[in-house]
Each structure stands twice: as C-alpha cells, then as structure tokens.
Structure 1
Amino acid sequence: MDGATDDHKAGIAKWFLLRSPPGQIQQVAKDVQKILMSDKLYQQAASEAFPIYNMEQMICLELPDGSGQVLVSNCGALDSTHYLDLRTAQVATVDHIKQICTKIRPATDEELPSGFVEEYRSAIDSELLKYVEEAFPRGSCAVFCTAGSTAEEDDAPFELTALISASKISHQNFSSGSWRSTWKIQVNQELQSVDLTGKVHVNAHYFEEGNVQLDTNYEGSDSTVLQNPLDVATAVVNIIRSKESEYLLSLEESYSKLSDNTFKELRRKLPVTRTLFAWNNALQLSLSREVTRELSNLLFYRSS
C-alpha cells in the first residue's frame, strides 16, 4: 500500500473485511490489522465494515441474560448499535467488532407493532421456528413488521419480513458456509390476500490446499388467502418450506454433476502435455471429491 493515502488504505481494508467468507471476518481482520500496521486505520475500516457484514450475514447473538437470541439485521435495526428482538420484546445493544450483545432493555410500545399485527407476526414466528429447528442445525429465525406496524383490523395493509439464518463454521476442517433467506409477506386485508416474495442466499467456502467458494441466490414467490393468524402462519411457512426444499434439491442435483459438467469446462480438452484427461476417473481426484463432499455438507441436508 506504499504511496496510498490513509483513506485509500482504510477503504481497501474495508473491502477485504466485507468480502470475508461466512464466519471468518475475525480471522480476516487479524491479517488486515497486521498489513495496515496502524490501529487508527484498522479501527476506521472495522467500524465501517463490521456493522454491514454482521447485518448482511444476519449473525445471531446470545442475549446477556440468557433469555434468547437477537438476529442482527436491517429489519430489526433501530439504529447502528441497537436491534429489536420481538420474541422477547427487548432491544439489544450490539458491539459489532467483538460480535457480542453487551446489554438489553425492554422495548417501548412505540417500538412494537400493534396488537392486531402482532397476532399475525407472532403466529408466523412460532411456525417458522418449528421449521427452522427441524431443517437447520444451529439455525435462527425472526419475523419483523417492516411496514404498517400500527395497522388495525380496518386500516391499511401491512408487511412482515421473515428471516432465516443458518451457518456451519468448521475452521479445523477448512470449511464454512451459510444459508440466509428473506421472505417478505404482504398482508392485504381489503383483497383478503397474503403475497410472499423471497430470496435465498447460499455461500460455501472450502479452503484446504486451495480456495473454492460457492455464492448463489434463489428468488421465489407465491400467495395464499388471508385467514385467521394461525391458518395464515401455517400456509406461509408451508410455502417457505416448499420453495426452499425445491431450491435445495436443485443444488444437490448440480453437485452430482460437478465432475461430468462443471470441472470439464474448467480444463482444456487437450492439455499442453498432449495427454487426454481421464474424466471417467474424475471422482477419484481430490478436488472433485472434496468440493462435492464439503459443499454438500454445508447446505445442511435435511430429513424429510
């Protein structure tokens, strides 16, 4: 970084921090700090990068009193360090760089949705929690009201956002991965409809004797009829389960074809050695075998 200004150096450091694989920003931060050789520049970069990274990764932190967890996300952010946990009706103060929750306080009435909206939100949250506990090892979820939080029975439509965050970090096995999904739920009382639009983001990183990453997205949508809160919750979570399972199956099918299709496209058909590559034995090769195994494991195989 010789010749670069301090702002430029901090900007480069921030770039590297933001592109850390799931669960690895602390390790990247240690290397960045050594390269910068300046605590001031490191703090500048870290103070900007960590909040963005934590919200993008939707990290989940234990509450200090052990009453639950808070999911760090844009949906629950009250400001840059305070995050709402509607399940416990508390506000958590987060130290982004240390990635810990330092204290909590009760949420005020103004920070909570109306009683009518809360009926739907809490019902979906309870049903979503069951799904996540079944499907995702060490997974977390939360449901927020992201529009129309003051809506009452005869008022304007409102929007809920369901978040799912699950990760598998195994540094000793040189692998990490995350599954993050965001489902926006539009509740329209006038039309008696509930519309869903969702996005799933999967990232897997395998770095033993190399550096291989998978970074892929899926988008889906569906709708159901507006009913009572419990029936709506069941319908909404069934849609989410169906869409995500469908996407997972498509990924598994892609992995099964890695050796036959993807890796072939990465190699010259006739290498400079003029020796044809034995594709019929590709599964015996370390890269093919290990990537297929590790990436499949990182997608949290689920029992049906």
Structure 2
Amino acid sequence: MAGEEQSQETELSNKQKIEIAKWFLLNSPAGEIQYVAKDIRSVLNDDNVYNIAASEAFPLYNKSHMIRLEMPGRIGDVLVTSFGELNENEYLDPRTAQVAIVDHVKQLCRELRPALDEELPSPYIEDYRCALDAEITKYVGEAYPKGVCSVYCISGKDVEEPGSDFELVVVISAARHSPQNFCNGSWRSIWNIEFKDELQVLEIKGRMQVGAHYFEEGNVQLDAKHECKDSTIFQAPDDCAVALTNIIRHHETEYLASLQASYSNLPDTTFKVLIRLGMSWENLHKNCSRYLVKKNQVRTSEGSFQLHVPYSRGITLCNLALQEISQKNLELENKIPQKKVYGMFF
C-alpha cells in the first residue's frame, strides 16, 4: 500500500527543484548559507540543478545580509550591497575608490580594479561623503567590535556646487559567528539621508535589523526589525557628519537598549503569564495542524509544492504527539474535576 502511494507521487521537475533549493538558501540564518548549501547539494544529487539554484540565490543572500569580503592585499573590506553594485559581480568601495570583483557562491573577493571617474561622486559630494564616512567609522569601531560600514551616494552624485539636492546612504553591518558555541548573530542598519538644499534640512530614515540563531539543545531564531525617522539642519561637511553620526548613535543605542530590556523581562512577565494560562488542548491541536500543513508547503514563483519524506514526516509526528498530550490532559481532567490543567506551548 505504502509502495503504491509513493509511486503515485509526482516527480518534481528541475525547475521546481531549483525554486525549492533557492527558498532554503535564501532563508538560511546569518553566516550559515554555506552549511545549508552543502546539505542541499547532497540532497539534490544533481550538480547542474544545484549550480543554477546557487548562482541565483547567493547574490540575493549576500546583498540582503550585506556581507563583508576582505579585499586582496588586505587593504580593507568591501561590503556587498545593492548600493555599491555596479553589475552582477562588481561592487564599489567608496572609501578606497576601488571596485571589487567577487565570487558570490564562494563569498570571496577575486580581484580589484580602480573605479572609473563616472563611478565616483563629484568633489563637492565627496566632501560630504568622506566626512560622514570618517565619523561613522569611528562610531562603528566603538559600538561594533567586528563591524564594517560604508557611505554611498545614491542620488545626485554629479552635483558640483550648492543649490541641488542629493542623497547619501550609510550602511552598517556587523556579525558574530560562533558555530562551535552553537550560536550566530548579525546586525544590519541602513540610513538614508536626503540633503535638501532649498529647505536647508537633512531628512533621515533608518532601518535596523537584528538576527540571531541559537541551536544548542534546540533551535531558536530571532529576527527583529525597527524603523525610525529624524532630521537636522544643512551645515558644512564636517558639522553635518558629526550631527548625523550622533543621531545614528542615539537611535541605534536606544533600539538595542529596548531589545535588551524586553528580553530581560521575559522570565518575569511573558513566561509567567504563559505558565498560568489555561490551555485548550483541543483547539491547540487543530490550530497547530493547520499551521504545520501550511508551513509544509514551499511557495515559490513556480507555485506551491508539498514537501514529502523526510520533511513532511514532522507533521505526522507532531500531530501524534499533540493527540497523546490531549488524551493525557483529558484523563487528568476527569480525575481532578473543576480544575484546569495548565501548560506552556513552545
């Protein structure tokens, strides 16, 4: 019977396998895509399918996580971001005026070339960019021991004198990878700064993202995001740089403090509430079943695909476990009438 059911399963096409492989690669925790890629390559057992999936997924992952790559000659690090992307494999490092040619799949910087004049901002814009880069570099060195930053001009780079608007973006990336201790973490922040000459104001929009993965005796992931806005007055390059760095420092410090406070209070607030919460095991069983069946499908541009053994086996095992818990809970309630049984769902 089981053999007949397995024979009726439709074999995935290569296009579907590529989409599923890309989904797993793109959802890898920070710093762990190479481990995931190794397992996917083994499961696929088809180098052609794997190479296509990897060539499409790695560039997206690297830019999303804003990874740092050491440049040849140890002259510094280049950040792989969409802001410095010149083409598929070339990324500008504004600080050194060099263009890094990278291998996305191996996550290496292969070689360098000098940036062309048209790839760099005008001297007027460079004064603001360079001053801000210097201040941000000092701040990142103090706040993030393994952090890297870069400042790009993403609009108005050809402006030669006062009278026109332009936009800079500050990118900060820091990561701490410690697989031997079963944990990895990352910090990413992007600060868009619009220099509005007519209004003599600088408008700032910030996006911060914290990721963490702890996998000793369990599997816990954190993905926290925060956005904010601020403004300051248009000044000389050095004064603008100091003011902008102070604003960025304030918002990032405030956000990190709020994160630390909220998680420090978990044992005394959230967990205690959960422990005292009356749990309806029957409803929990139904909701978990629906959730797991939904999660068991991989949605891609090619449609939704049901994952078969060994992935789908987790749903059956979870359902059986919940049924057993529900039965034990029912038996206990029958023995102790007029009392609720409490529990915590992880």
Structure-2-length-normalised TM-score = 0.77
Q: Percent identity?
A: 52
Higher RCO, 1 or 2 (CA under 8 Å, sep at least 6)? 1
Match status 1:99 vs 2:107: yes
Secondary structure in 1 matching 2:268: helix
Which runs of no fewer than 5 residues in structure 1 stay unpaired? 280-286, 288-304
**Partner of 1:157 in structure 2?**
165
- Which of the numbers 9, 13, 16 marks the counterpart of 1:5? 13
Aligned length: 279
**Partner of 1:44 in structure 2?**
52
**Partner of 1:197 in structure 2?**
205
1:60-209 equivalences under 5 Å are: 60-209=68-217
* Runs of 4+ in structure 1 over 6 Å off: none
User: 2-side partners of 1:222 and 1:180: how far apart?
Assistant: 18
Q: How far is the alpha carbon of 1:119 from its aligned partner?
A: 0.3
Secondary structure in 1 matching 2:153: strand
1:234-253 equivalences under 5 Å are: 234-253=242-261
1:190-269 equivalences under 5 Å are: 190-264=198-272, 269=277
Which runs of no fewer than 5 residues in structure 2 stay unpaired? 1-8, 280-328, 333-339
**Alpha carbons of structure 1 residues 30 and 268: separation in structure 2 relative to 1, 3 Å:** farther
User: 1-side partners of 2:273 and 2:159: how far apart?
Assistant: 54
String of CA shifts for 1:11-60, please: whole Å, max 9, x gaps: 00000000000000000000111111100010011000000000000001
User: 1-side partners of 2:170 and 2:141: how far apart?
Assistant: 15
User: 1-side partners of 2:162 and 2:187: how far apart?
Assistant: 37
- More displaced, 264-273 or 183-192? 264-273
Quick check: which has more Rg, 1 or 2?
2
Match status 1:30 vs 2:38: yes
**Partner of 1:283 in structure 2?**
none
Q: How far is the alpha carbon of 1:244 from its aligned partner?
A: 0.5
Q: How far is the alpha carbon of 1:261 from its aligned partner?
A: 3.3
Q: How far is the alpha carbon of 1:191 from its aligned partner?
A: 1.4
User: 1-side partners of 2:170 and 2:247: how far apart?
Assistant: 12
User: 2-side partners of 1:221 and 1:270: how far apart?
Assistant: 41
User: 1-side partners of 2:145 and 2:35: how far apart?
Assistant: 23
